[in-house]
Amino acid sequence: QVQLVESGGGSVQPGGSLRLSCAVSGVTFSSACMAWFRQAPGKAREGVVVIKPDGVTTYYADSVKGRFTISQDKAKNTVYLQMDSLKPEDTAMYYCAFRLYDWVGCSLIATSYNNWGQGTQVTVSS
């Protein structure tokens, strides 16, 4: 049974940093697309970043390139999202998501993921 549990959200001033964690169970990273999405009130869920099963190849949304970094710790079964230089427009609920890697590959399309965490709130405000 797949379980994803996010943590690390909070309130931060513009320019600040946060590190989100996604504790994963029931998933083998070597066969998984692990992704972070976010959803602001009144807006569609947006793909932030995905990491492929090789643990190296990543795809970032243009809005976060150079500011956010995804990583995974296989020993701890945890995926991280380091967020630096945060902006007010980064305010959203952040979700961890998983899908098995297949011929479709790893994408940032929310409907292609069938396993989600409960989310963690990030608020960037002065």
C-alpha span between 4 and 56 (Å, rounded): 21
CA distances for 28 relative to 20, 24, 40, 126, angstroms:
20, 9, 30, 40
Mean pLDDT of the chain: 96
C-alpha span between 68 and 15 (Å, rounded): 12
- pLDDT (tens digit per residue) in 10-25: 999 999 999 999 999 9
Report CA 75 to chain centroid distance, whole Å.
19
- What is the model's pLDDT at position 118? 97
Q: How many percent of the chain have pLDDT more than 70?
A: 100
Q: Residue for token digits 């946060």?
A: 18
CA distances for 61 relative to 27, 89, 92, angstroms:
24, 14, 15
